[in-house]
Structure 1
Amino acid sequence: MRTTIRLLAVAALGSVLLPLGTGTGAAGAPGPAVPPVARACSPVLPADPDAAAARVNALITQMDRQGLTQTAIDARLAADHCVRRVDGGGTGLRPLGDPPREITVGRPAIYKIQKPKKSKGKATTYYIATASWRWNYVPGNVKGYDAFSLRFTKKISERSHSLTYSGNGRFYGSRTINQAETAGPGGVGFIFNEGPRTHIPVPLDMRGYTGRMTVTFRPSKPGCWYLQAYAQYAHSWASNSVTGISLSAGRDNAGFGINWQENKHHWRQTSQPGAEFKVCR
Structure 2
Amino acid sequence: MKPSSLISSTEQPPLSRAESSSKTIILSTGVVVPFDADDRTSAEEEAFRSELSMLVTLDQLTPAKMKELGISEPSETLAEIPVTVKPSDFLLGVAEPAALGCRVMNPSSSAGDMNISRPQIVKSGTKIYAYARYNWKNAPFSGCPRNKSQIGGPDGLAITFNRGVTNKGVSFVGCNSYNLCQKTGWLETNNQYGAGWAFQDWGYGAIYGHSPTYKGTLTYTLTTSSTKCLQAFAKYGHSWNSTNLTGFSIGKSSIGISWNTSSSLWQKSSQAGSYRC
TM over 0.5: yes
Q: Would you say the 8 A contact 2:56–2:133 is kept in 1?
A: no
Partner-residue secondary structure (3-state), 1:137: coil
Residue aligning to 1:205: 210
Aligned to 2:127: 126
In the alignment, structure 1 residue 230 sits paired with structure 2 residue 230: no
Separation in structure 2 between the aligned mates of residue 108 and residue 91 of structure 1, nearest angstrom: 9
Q: Are the equivalent residues in 1 in contact too, given 2:133–2:218 (CA < 8 A)?
A: yes
Structure 1 distance, partners of 2:175, 2:47, is 16
**Do the aligned partners of 2:57 and 2:133 also contact (CA within 8 Å) in 1?**
no
Distance 1:203 1:191 in 2: 19
Distance 1:257 1:64, change over 3 A: closer
CA distance in 1, matches of 2:226, 2:111: 40
What RMSD over aligned residues (CA atoms) do the two structures have, in Å? 2.9
Is 1:83 the counterpart of 2:89? The answer is no
Which whole-Å CA distance do the structure 2 matches of 1:194 and 1:262 have between them? Answer: 18
Give the counterpart of 2:24 among 44, 61, 65. 44
The one-letter amino acid paired with 2:51 is A
State the partner residue of 1:105.
116
Decide whether aligned partners of structure 1 residues 53 and 108 sit closer, same or farther in structure 2, where only a CA change above 3 A counts.
farther
How many residues are treated as equivalent by the alignment?
217
* In structure 1, C-alpha distance between the alignment counterparts of 2:274 and 2:240, rounded to whole Å: 33
**Aligned partner (choices 190, 214, 217) of residue 219 of structure 2:** 214
Q: Note closer, same or farther for the CA distance 1:126–1:199 as it changes in structure 2 (3 Å cut).
A: same
Alpha-carbon shift at residue 241 of structure 1 (Å)? 1.1
* SS across alignment from 2:212: coil
TM-score by length of 2: 0.68
Percent identity between the aligned chains?
A: 22
CA deviations 1:172-209 (Å, max 9, x no partner) are x43314841100011000111011x1123x68522310
Q: Which amino acid aligns with 1:193?
A: Q
- Residue among 154, 174, 181 paired with 1:165: 174
Distance 1:176 1:63, change over 3 A: closer
Deviation at 1:243, TM superposition (A): 0.5
Aligned equivalent of 1:145: 154
Question: In the alignment, residue 40 of structure 2 is paired with which amino acid?
Answer: D
TM-score by length of 1: 0.67
- 1:100-129: per-residue Cα shift (whole Å, max 9, x none)? 221111111111111xxxxxxxxxx11111
> SS in structure 2 opposite 1:76?
helix
Deviations 1:196-249 (A, max 9, x none): x1123x685223101111111112xx4432110111111010111101101111
Per-residue Cα deviation, 1:147-183 (whole angstroms, up to 9, x for no partner)? 100111111111111111121128xx43314841100
In the TM superposition, residue 64 of structure 1 has moved relative to its aligned partner by 5.8
Other structure's SS at 1:84 match: coil
